[in-house]
């Protein structure tokens, strides 16, 4: 009976969302259909069930044929998510990007002081030949080796590659071929990004020795900018949480606690001064959450801004790649290097990024979500103080309302179950460290009971949500919301809007944050405003002791 019920639910699935372990010779019975239909909130008459039986048997044979096919994680579904509202116009007119004035920086007598320098500060030392990329790269590799046993933030050091890239950077700079701000700057990458010659483990035991021959587009773009990859950083297994096959990644502010996830190692390493910046990814909070916990500045770009070629697919309609840095301007610098189409990720659009640090930010129209800020929640006091600081800067915060989010988060789980179909079928999901009810192995299994019709209906409601948020943001360049409380995190990951998370202080010894969300493809204004606010506060200048 159980196998027949699983089979019948599977018949309602499409787009590769298929149930395994159910094919057998026994024919499907009317009793099986009645039991299965109850699971999906349907009721059929005896005559209707009788008419369905031949078609169900036919579908079962089609599923069996599908299961004989090998579908790799990197294969995209033919159906693409469109985040653009009906009246949305893409700005393709690109002007020269202008960052803030370069700071005046001296080489410190004690090189340990370099640990918490920003990208801009390190870049000036390299450009002025006050330090070499080889020196800087060796410095950060040594810090990674020293503190990783405490933080568990590194899966693989890419030392040989890093030293080769650093030597090349120094040679080019000596020859007058300076590529720009990222030239010679070390960084780390979440270990779901492919780098030839090194494992790409996805933080999961079944893939611990996996090697991918291709180079992720974001890694390639940073290499072209002259950046130096020093480590592949830890992530919650298959991009959930901070627990991976090696250990739990720790928070530098309190190593007795985790760093949240799933960009756990990226946020931890930046916070502890082990790398100047790192790449993370977000599907439903995986940049916002660890950046909050570790006190970093993080950017989750718009859906369709940054190519995901060479990255592990979890949810084709929700995955985003973005930087975790010390400052907002650093986020802008990294984003400027990695955004744009590569011809390999069909979701990426070519849109302008007109970041100009000389823009008159005072003219931006900024909103906030009073309904969420006025309710009791953990960060309320710090958020209230931060908003008051923003008002004192001269900004009139315009109240806006966010649309209520329907119960459609299962879109992510269904796509993830498809992405890791073979893991479930092979029972290798038993190797994942976390085996509780609220972890991937169980979520993959339960997600197979989501009918294809409901998956499509949920995405139709998602279209309405996109239209509603776009209408509510009319005339607004960006808006504030709580990072962890309210609707914004789930809402904007479903709609694809970009967000910046900023540190705002501390509660019980751990950092707190606030989130600023921008218009779709509006990273330029979002980052310019967030940069202005950050430069008029000092929360981002604090660093954990002991590192």
Give the mean pLDDT of 173-182: 98
- pLDDT, residue 369, reads 98
Token code pair at residue 198: 């090194």
The alpha carbons of the chain give a radius of gyration, in whole angstroms, of 24
Model pLDDT, residue 23:
45
Residues 6 or more apart from 432 whose CB is under 8 A from it? Answer: 204, 205, 206, 237, 238, 439, 440, 441
What is the average pLDDT across 310-322? 98
Q: What is the pTM of this model?
A: 0.94
Please, are residues 464 and 288 in contact by the beta-carbon 8 Å criterion?
no
What residue spans of 16-104 are helical by DSSP H? Answer: 30-39, 46-67
Nearest to 196 by CA among 219, 222, 178, 180: 219
- Residue 258 forms beta bridges with which residues? 250
Q: What is the DSSP letter of 116?
A: G
Q: Quick one: pLDDT at residue 2?
A: 38
Average pLDDT over residues 394-412: 97
pLDDT of 75 higher than 50? yes
Q: How far apart are CA 349 and CA 43, in angstroms?
A: 44
Length of the chain: 547
CB 22 within 8 A of CB 35: no
E strands in 204-327: 228-233, 250-251, 254-258, 278-282, 297-300, 320-325
Least confident segment among 23-32, 161-170, 446-455, 491-500: 23-32
Centroid of chain to Cα 235 = 11
**Cα 300 from Cα 335, distance rounded (Å):** 10
Confidence at residue 438, expressed as pLDDT on a 0 to 100 scale = 94
Q: Phi-psi region for residue 343, left (φ > 0), alpha (ψ -120 to 50) or beta?
A: left
Mean pLDDT, residues 439-453: 94
Q: Which bin fits 152, alpha (ψ -120 to 50), beta or left (φ > 0)?
A: left
3-class DSSP string for 425-480: HCCHHHHCCCCCCCCHHHHHHHHCCCCHHHHHHHHHHHHHHHHHHHHHCCCCCEEE
Would you kindly state where each structural domain of the chain is located, as residue ranges? 111-405+459-541
pLDDT of residue 56: 86
Rounded distance, CA 289 to CA 306, Å? 20
Q: Is the pLDDT of residue 201 over 70?
A: yes
Provide the pLDDT confidence category of residue 25 given band limits of 50, 70 and 90.
low
Whether residue 326 is predicted with pLDDT greater than 50 in this model: the reply is: yes
415 contact partners, CB below 8 Å, separation of at least 6: 314, 315, 316, 317, 318
**Could you give the residue ranges of the DSSP H alpha helices within 155-303?**
159-174, 217-224, 264-271, 288-294
Per-residue pLDDT tens digits for 119-142:
999 999 999 999 999 999 999 999
Asked if residue 41 has pLDDT above 90, the reply is no
Q: What is the pLDDT of residues 260-306, one digit of tens each?
A: 999 999 999 999 999 999 999 999 999 999 999 999 999 999 999 99
39 pLDDT higher than 90 = no
Mean pLDDT of 173-193: 98
Mean pLDDT of the chain: 94
CA-based diameter of the chain, in Å?
86
Q: If DSSP states are collapsed to H, E and C, what string results for 75-94?
A: CCCCCCCCCCCCCCCCCCCC
Mean pLDDT over 379-389 rounds to 98
Rounded to an integer, what distance in angstroms lies between the CA atom of residue 123 and that of residue 264?
A: 26
* Per-residue tokens: 28: 């499907």
pLDDT of residue 60: 85
For position 62, what pLDDT does the model report?
A: 85
Split at pLDDT 50, 70, 90, the class of 1 is very low
Distance CA 212, CA 513 (A): 36
Place of tokens 């790449």: 279
Cα distance between residue 36 and residue 4, in whole Å? 8
CATH class entry, domain 111-405+459-541: alpha beta
Q: Considering the chain, what percentage of its residues have pLDDT values greater than 90?
A: 90
Q: Which distant-in-sequence residues (6+ apart) come within 8 Å of 423 by Cβ? A: 206, 429, 444
Structure token pair of residue 450: 């989501």
Nearest to 73 by CA among 250, 298, 316, 255: 316
């Amino acid at each position: 009976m159980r196998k027949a019920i699983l089979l019948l639910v599977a018949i309602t699935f499409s787009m590769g969302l298929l149930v395994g372990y159910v094919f057998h010779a026994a024919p499907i019975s009317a009793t099986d259909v009645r039991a299965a239909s109850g699971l999906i909130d349907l009721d059929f008459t005896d005559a209707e069930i009788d008419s369905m039986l031949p078609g169900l048997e036919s579908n079962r044979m089609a599923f069996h044929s599908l299961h004989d096919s090998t579908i790799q994680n990197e294969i995209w579904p033919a159906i693409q998510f469109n985040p653009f509202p009906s009246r949305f116009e893409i700005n393709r007119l690109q002007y020269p990007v202008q960052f803030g004035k370069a700071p005046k920086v001296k080489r410190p007598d004690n090189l340990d002081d370099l640990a918490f320098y920003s990208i801009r500060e390190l870049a000036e030392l390299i450009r002025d030949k006050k330090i070499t990329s080889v020196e800087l790269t060796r410095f950060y590799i040594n810090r990674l080796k020293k503190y990783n046993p405490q933080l568990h933030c590194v899966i693989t050091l890419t030392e040989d590659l890093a030293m080769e890239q650093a030597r090349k950077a120094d040679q080019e700079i000596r020859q007058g071929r300076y590529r720009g701000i990222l030239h010679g700057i070390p960084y780390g990458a979440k270990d779901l990004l492919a780098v030839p010659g090194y494992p790409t483990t996805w933080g999961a035991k079944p893939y611990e020795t996996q090697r991918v021959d291709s180079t992720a587009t974001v890694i390639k773009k940073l290499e072209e900018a002259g950046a130096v990859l020093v480590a592949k950083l830890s992530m919650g297994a298959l991009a959930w949480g901070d627990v991976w096959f090696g250990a739990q990644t720790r928070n530098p502010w309190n190593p007795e606690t985790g760093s949240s996830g799933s960009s756990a190692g990226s946020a931890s390493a930046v916070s502890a001064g082990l790398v100047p910046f790192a790449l993370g990814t977000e599907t439903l909070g995986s940049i916002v959450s660890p950046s909050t916990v570790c006190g970093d500045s993080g950017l989750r770009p718009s859906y369709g801004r940054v190519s995901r070629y060479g990255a592990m697919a979890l949810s084709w309609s929700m995955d985003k790649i973005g930087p975790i840095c010390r400052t907002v301007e650093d986020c802008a610098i990294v984003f400027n290097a990695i955004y744009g189409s590569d011809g390999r990720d069909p979701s990426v659009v070519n849109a302008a990024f007109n970041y100009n640090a000389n823009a008159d930010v005072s003219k931006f129209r900024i909103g906030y979500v009073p309904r969420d800020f006025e309710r009791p929640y953990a960060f309320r006091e710090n958020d209230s103080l931060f908003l008051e600081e923003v008002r004192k800067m001269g900004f009139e915060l315009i109240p806006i309302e966010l649309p209520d989010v329907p119960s459609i988060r299962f879109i992510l789980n269904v796509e993830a179950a498809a992405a890791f179909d073979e893991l479930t079928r092979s029972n290798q999901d038993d190797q994942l460290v976390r085996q509780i009810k609220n972890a991937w192995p169980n979520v993959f299994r339960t997600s197979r009971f989501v009918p294809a019709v409901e998956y499509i209906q949920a995405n139709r409601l998602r279209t309405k949500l996109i239209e509603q948020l776009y209408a509510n943001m009319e005339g607004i360049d960006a808006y504030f919301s709580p990072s962890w409380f309210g609707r914004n995190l789930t809402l904007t990951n479903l709609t694809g809007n970009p967000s910046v998370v900023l540190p705002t202080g501390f509660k019980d010894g751990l950092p707190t944050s606030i989130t600023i969300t921008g218009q779709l493809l509006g990273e330029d204004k979002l980052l310019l405003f967030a940069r202005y606010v950050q430069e008029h506060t000092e929360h981002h200048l604090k660093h954990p002791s002991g590192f």
